[in-house]
Chains A and B, each alone.
Chain A
């Protein structure tokens, strides 16, 4: 799948040729820095790419249906009921002059106007109590809630219609570390209780290490590598993943010397030729600046897009 943002004369290729799959019940972590395309990827699955953004090629198949071929009404029906999304900042997603309970009523009515307000509020109460918020607080306004509780409300809203997939885009980035840990723990518990699949989009390697079954690493709109969490952290195959893991501090590592990655992530309106990571890559050779590497299989459910791996393979066979 590819997504492009066309603004005036510049075209930003936010997502390019990304292929990924998700199994029922799985948590897929999508990691990347700002501009890596990770959020655009999430929005595309939700069918929320709006002009000047366009899905220029590819398919998004959910439960045997290609979402890109659905009519807007069908897509709206699917959104919320089957796939729901949680964003980073709950304050901008909640209406400040509306009571928490009314958010739930509105959300449920958007999908089924026949549900009585009473039924909707009962549902809201159950979901909130699952998240540790007393049902009596349905009559409060968002500003009476702390940041962590607002984000729980957002998670509650996402769960209301019993979707099978939740896409969480930086759900804990705006929160303090203790609240972050609380919410991640709850998310993990609810995932099994509501039999959800989860796409967790984040820049934080620690968060994916705690949560994900499999991890997809994105760089400059492309998929650098995807592999089971344990193997990606133990034996990263893509030079970007390897360098990233060597550059982040870890409170458990004793006197770890960090290795810095030179340069900074590229500008998507003017990306480097060839592999987008080659100007910063310690292993780059001539071919990397000329051609774009395709993903090669590197192990069980693992692939990485790097010429070094391709050449290694050629040498062995």
Chain B
């Protein structure tokens, strides 16, 4: 069966049966006297998807769904417990040091909190030129022009007035522009954006979303967008994978996912989103409870204890992600 995402022989990014377990650190006393086995967090538990070049691919889920860990593994920052990540036909985790260094130029990240990802003692110009300093052999003089052009490009204009400023002198939205400029400075092909607008003021969010989309078009970037906000994902992504407790529950092109959400979890998520229109107010069917601990995930389908449509099989057998309609995959026994 073809994995969700692409039908071509070699997709740009291929994630295959990815697992990442984190051991829980126990105190010395617990280690000596422990009667229970050491525990592991099942952060990502068997995730497979493909991303095509030029996609804005959304990983959507609540906290604890494993979306951030998945994103970091695809950027080569965390070594998976099991599984493969192939970037442009090369397996990331079998690379040597020098190959990995070359890969750094092609993959960059943007995080949620621009203030904590910028050094408060470094000027904007220095921050944006840092990747160039380490990863390119561009001469210093050229580097400066390059950075000024980048600042201009991400909307920090006039660039020379921003070059010598410090992060605390900028607004939240401007700081996120700096972080985006820094990520783009080295000319990456693949960008992992982890909640890039979650901490930006509401009236500035659309600016940052549009900036990312413009950069994506102009530079032919491939973006993995990690977000808890379905409205943000709908606006930005062409494909979306919905994650829950380390697994992909549903995957589809954005329009298909919103037109015909299949998985009861996706349906619950969509029903829960507050709609900015009082005329659409309605009594919502919300499943009870919260996302269980990834230390001890439920048997069978991980969503079954909360699922309104649960039946016999669900607590026993793990549903696999199957193609329900062309390009629309769902991991639910209702459809198998």
Task: Choose the segment among B1-9, B68-76, B286-294 that binds chain A (4+ C-beta atoms closer than 8 Å).
Answer: B286-294
Report yes or no: B268 in contact with A178, Cβ–Cβ below 8 A: yes
B274 touches A204 (CB 8 A): yes
Asked if A230 is at the interface of the complex by the 8 Å CB criterion, the answer is yes
**Distance in Å from the Cβ of A175 to the closest Cβ of chain B?**
9
- Expressed in whole angstroms, the minimum distance between the Cβ of A135 and any Cβ of chain B is 18
Q: Are A249 and B201 in contact (CB under 8 A)?
A: no
Docked complex: A141-163 residues within 8 A CB-CB of B: 146-149
A261 sits at the interface (CB 8 A): yes
B288: chain A residues at CB < 8 Å are: 132, 182
Instruction: Give A179's nearest chain B residue, CB to CB.
Output: B290
**What residue in chain A is nearest B259 (Cβ atoms)?**
A254
B35: CB under 8 A from chain A?
Answer: no
Quick one: which of B62, B203, B271, B280 contacts A244, CB cutoff 8 A? B203
User: Beyond A209-B275, A233-B278, A251-B273, is A265–B203 a contact (Cβ under 8 Å)?
Assistant: yes
Contact partners of A179 in chain B: CB under 8 A: 290
Task: Give A305 Cβ to nearest chain B Cβ, in Å.
Answer: 17
Closest Cβ neighbor of A256 among chain B residues = B235
- Interface 1/0 per residue, A229-240 and B, CB below 8 Å: 110011000001
Given contacts A182-B288, A249-B235, A258-B235, contact A177 B272 (CB under 8 A): yes
Q: Is B202 an interface residue (CB 8 A)?
A: yes
Q: Which of B103-111, B158-166, B206-214 contacts A (4 or more CB under 8 A)?
A: B206-214
B281 at the interface (CB under 8 A from A): yes
Is A49's beta carbon under 8 Å from chain B?
Answer: no
Residues of A within 8 A of B291 (CB): 176
Q: Is the CB of A248 within 8 A of B275?
A: no
Scan A18-58; emit 1 where CB is below 8 A from any B CB, else 0: 00000000000000011000000000000000000000000
Q: Which residues of A contact B272 (CB under 8 A)?
A: 177-178, 180-181
For chain A, residues 226 to 274, give those with C-beta under 8 angstroms from any C-beta of chain B. 229-230, 233-234, 240, 243-245, 247-252, 256, 258-262, 264-265
Which one of B173, B201, B210, B278 has the highest number of Cβ atoms from chain A below 10 Å of its Cβ? Answer: B278
Q: How far is the CA of A148 from the CA of B272 in the complex (A)?
A: 14
Chain A nearest CB, measured from B265 CB (Å): 9
CB-contact partner of A252 in B172, B228, B269, B275, under 8 A: B275
Residue in A closest to B292 when the chains form the complex, CB atoms = A146
A275 within 8 A of B: no
Q: Does A93 contact B (CB under 8 A)?
A: no
Q: When chains A and B are docked, how far (Å) is the Cα of A240 from the Cα of B290?
A: 36
State whether B232 touches A176 (Cβ < 8 A).
Answer: no
Q: How far is the CA of A146 from the CA of B281 in the complex (A)?
A: 28
For A132, list chain B residues within 8 Å (CB): 288
Q: Which residues of B contact A209 (CB under 8 A)?
A: 274-278, 280-281
Q: A176-B63, A233-B278 are in contact. List 19 more A-B contacts (CB 8 A).
A: A33-B201, A132-B288, A177-B269, A178-B62, A180-B274, A181-B274, A204-B202, A205-B202, A206-B273, A230-B278, A230-B279, A233-B276, A248-B231, A249-B231, A250-B275, A250-B277, A251-B270, A258-B206, A258-B210
Query: Would you list 15 pairs from A and B whose C-beta atoms are within 8 A, ordered by A residue?
Result: A180-B274, A181-B284, A182-B288, A203-B202, A209-B275, A244-B202, A247-B202, A247-B205, A248-B231, A249-B235, A251-B275, A252-B277, A256-B235, A265-B171, A265-B201
Task: Sort A-B residue pairs by CB-CB distance and give the 10 closest, nearest first.
Answer: A206-B274, A181-B272, A176-B62, A249-B231, A264-B171, A247-B206, A249-B235, A205-B276, A260-B206, A258-B206
